[in-house]
Structure 1
């Protein structure tokens, strides 16, 4: 296959790359990185969004709908010679068929990421949870330390004003395991946050059939890296599981709070606004650190970022200072505003572990924790509704919305009330099923108090409720509403 970033391929100024699904969080990041390298870039998507409008404002041509004419030459650019499409797009798609008939290179999304990872020193962040935040923190820490990173992130990083950054230093990439082709990628440093059973089962084109198959994909990715930095405290990476998942890598480094970690967070001190800790490297103090996001998971994400910065020769104090000022990527513990003195937070948490971490972060603020949860996908709810319910038990109040289908066909007997019934059966007195969004907004506006923290959680359109709650003038979130590839 012809590679873009080699002397074999025509120069960027003579190359037009067209990206299908450009409104997705991943594909839009590719568009920005390719434009920064000097390529002619265009794309198409099914609908207009805030992200497609941003891309157009940056000089990237965006077409709404799909049509073979998008590949043709215009006065501004030559005819497309490369089409980038997710593996989820069938080869029978008219736009793909037109590209193949024209002799164009049709490049899978993961192949494009593979080329970017191999073109420079690279850090690939994998794991079921925390990839977006950890990738963002690594890029911000490297930038703070003066290492000028490039970045490919599944959320808008406030410091970049985008989900991508083009630099001359190491390339930091969030690598999504929902696309099975991720396992074939090569990077210099694999950062492995955790492993669980998300993106498993069902008829999604890129999902894994079993968790064992998915974990084998993690192990293959890790084995192809020069080194792995893994989270040693993760319960799924203990004993034999750890051996199987990271033992294939030539150099194994760990981070966490456990004795024996290569990079260890010592004297961890949570407070309502974040967490402070001391970073140790092989038993020696590197320095003091702080993350201004609540939750133990965010402290560990920051530890990983500081470890990577140390591995790449960055100055610790500067990286630590940059992380202390970091407020998180879009839809990851995003502060939306206030209503009647209550803080309103929006978070992408949608599976049990993420819900539990978000509830713990909310508890760390010392406020009354009020959660609005929107389950995501019927299959995911069918697989995990008991664990979803259990993960929400420590919230003071939980308002459960209807399931966001994400275009899935409803499954008989799978309903948001399953979560409510289990929580009530376990003795939770503050959980209710709320089918009407407007009723939730009215109720919270009427009952919000200064000591509350209201957190909207889910991967669907629950973000809208948070913004309606504090005022209609707020912009859309900085990540797309769907789980975009």
Structure 2
């Protein structure tokens, strides 16, 4: 890697921009399986921007696949060995079985098969780069870093696991640095490194079960985080999260951010309100300036602080970076304002494990409204592992409407049901939790009772987001 210089000279080095020195061979044809996914679609856009010929396939059409086609990327529906005609490189997730007909056809035809993490590694190592790792907050933090760098006068490229409104995309093409969300659900991430690793936190998500890319133990996963950090030029980690310092012991250079005493980048004088939080940023005791995040919750203060720290490290203008973040409304499905119903504010959020759910509930409480949550548990295994913690995380909501578990292709596990959560909440004294498996009942109840003092938050990693749009009268 290029070495963590920490100055604006990083912006001069090309990463993925169309005019970069890493411009690809236009005769080289990349084909991406599952191109309608949030990550693969971003890869497709970045590869196309580098000048390669790009195509893809997916099971069904979606807004993302239709947008890719409008951008000149050919998308085939379904999977077929015939897709390998004239393809030079096939990009696929490690979760795709090696016996899949497209993979078999690729190997027989001499097509290079590249895992998605191998492609991300190439992009991260092509020039100055920022890789965001951690169990929670990666998408929001990655988005904030890209927005802050752009606001600070730099020209970042970005790879994000969500749609960033400022870019109207999950990818941005610039001259650098390259900012990427690095997902630990794919074990191959531990083979990667970057110039600046931003490490938000570490818990036990994506652990256990028979998922092809999941980790067997939390210790193994955390060792993966440590390996990524040790292979990076420097790490910026959250000083408020217990255990991160130990995981970062192998880093060549260590910097911290947080509210904790002694953090290199520190948020102080927090002033929360119904719309967000204002705060002051210090760099090793010296005030850099005032900042604001327009998303509620202390976790979003930390996400914004990390973004401002990166902008400062890369020589960006702090005041301009802070101004860009103050108007940032969040990426898609991360505290996304959908609309209103009878004066009630409707928010959609991707929160699906206990820490994320608790943070989202705390953010909702900050608005001062009556908190009404529609929660969809995600995966049988995750529910089996964490239903008591999910129940506890929801206790601070005034009302919880509980849907059935979103299977996400998992087979049911005997005895694991959404009512485990509602029963525990009732036993702990919550009087406003209701198991409502029929979505029509959820819609009717909220349409009949929504009031101006309410905030309704649809929460989960499944398709619960559709309910927020139906409640607000927004097209799906």
TM-score of the aligned structures, taking structure 1 as reference length: 0.93
Aligned to 2:79: 66
Structure 2 CA distance for aligned equivalents of residues 414 and 266 of structure 1 = 43
Aligned to 2:30: 17
Q: Over aligned residues, Cα RMSD in angstroms?
A: 1.4
| Unmatched runs of 5 consecutive residues or more in structure 2 | 1-14
Instruction: Confirm or deny: 8 A CA contact 2:58 2:76 kept in the other structure.
Output: yes
Q: CA deviation at 1:12?
A: 2.1
Structure 2 CA distance for aligned equivalents of residues 403 and 300 of structure 1 = 31
Q: CA deviation at 1:11?
A: 4.6
Deviations for 1:20-56, whole angstroms, at most 9, x for unmatched residues?
Answer: 0001110000000011111110000011111111111
Structure 2 CA distance for aligned equivalents of residues 46 and 290 of structure 1 = 42
Instruction: Confirm or deny: 8 A CA contact 1:374 1:400 kept in the other structure.
Output: yes
Matched residue SS, 1:13:
coil
How many residues are matched? 458
1:330 aligns with 2:338: no
Matched residue SS, 1:371:
strand
Instruction: Confirm or deny: 8 A CA contact 2:132 2:200 kept in the other structure.
Output: yes
Pick aligned residue for 1:194 from 187, 201, 207? 201
Matched residue SS, 2:26:
helix
Matched residue SS, 2:466:
helix
Matched residue SS, 2:304:
helix
Structure 1 CA distance for aligned equivalents of residues 404 and 106 of structure 2 = 40
Aligned to 1:482: none
Q: CA deviation at 1:71?
A: 2.4
Instruction: Confirm or deny: 8 A CA contact 2:144 2:325 kept in the other structure.
Output: yes
Q: CA deviation at 1:475?
A: 3.8
Instruction: Confirm or deny: 8 A CA contact 1:356 1:391 kept in the other structure.
Output: yes
Q: CA deviation at 1:146?
A: 1.4
Structure 2 CA distance for aligned equivalents of residues 390 and 252 of structure 1 = 34
1:414 aligns with 2:407: no
1:263 aligns with 2:265: yes
- C-alpha distance 42-315 of structure 1, shift in aligned 2 (>3 A): same
Instruction: Confirm or deny: 8 A CA contact 2:270 2:278 kept in the other structure.
Output: yes
TM-score of the aligned structures, taking structure 2 as reference length: 0.95
Instruction: Confirm or deny: 8 A CA contact 2:193 2:232 kept in the other structure.
Output: yes
Aligned to 1:251: 253
Deviations for 1:382-424, whole angstroms, at most 9, x for unmatched residues?
Answer: 0000000000000000111100101111001000000000000
1:46 aligns with 2:59: yes
Aligned to 1:161: 168
1:28 aligns with 2:28: no
Structure 1 CA distance for aligned equivalents of residues 334 and 432 of structure 2 = 25
Q: Residues 396-407 of structure 1 correspond to what in structure 2 (within 5 A)?
A: 396-407=398-409
Instruction: Confirm or deny: 8 A CA contact 1:46 1:65 kept in the other structure.
Output: yes
1:177 aligns with 2:184: yes
Pick aligned residue for 1:229 from 214, 227, 236? 236
Matched residue SS, 2:311:
helix
1:111 aligns with 2:124: no
1:126 aligns with 2:172: no
Instruction: Confirm or deny: 8 A CA contact 1:142 1:148 kept in the other structure.
Output: yes
Pick aligned residue for 2:316 from 314, 317, 334? 314
Instruction: Confirm or deny: 8 A CA contact 1:196 1:236 kept in the other structure.
Output: no
Structure 2 CA distance for aligned equivalents of residues 432 and 11 of structure 1 = 55
| Unmatched runs of 5 consecutive residues or more in structure 1 | 73-78, 477-485
1:285 aligns with 2:287: yes
Structure 1 CA distance for aligned equivalents of residues 475 and 123 of structure 2 = 32
Q: CA deviation at 1:235?
A: 3.3
Structure 1 CA distance for aligned equivalents of residues 105 and 64 of structure 2 = 26
Structure 2 CA distance for aligned equivalents of residues 385 and 14 of structure 1 = 51
1:141 aligns with 2:132: no
Structure 2 CA distance for aligned equivalents of residues 39 and 12 of structure 1 = 6
Aligned to 1:209: 216
Structure 2 CA distance for aligned equivalents of residues 52 and 94 of structure 1 = 22
Structure 2 CA distance for aligned equivalents of residues 341 and 10 of structure 1 = 51
Q: CA deviation at 1:236?
A: 4.4
Matched residue SS, 2:41:
helix
1:388 aligns with 2:395: no
Aligned to 2:9: none
Instruction: Confirm or deny: 8 A CA contact 1:140 1:323 kept in the other structure.
Output: yes
Instruction: Confirm or deny: 8 A CA contact 2:24 2:50 kept in the other structure.
Output: no
Structure 2 CA distance for aligned equivalents of residues 232 and 191 of structure 1 = 12
Q: CA deviation at 1:279?
A: 0.3
Deviations for 1:227-249, whole angstroms, at most 9, x for unmatched residues?
Answer: 10001111343xxxx22x00100
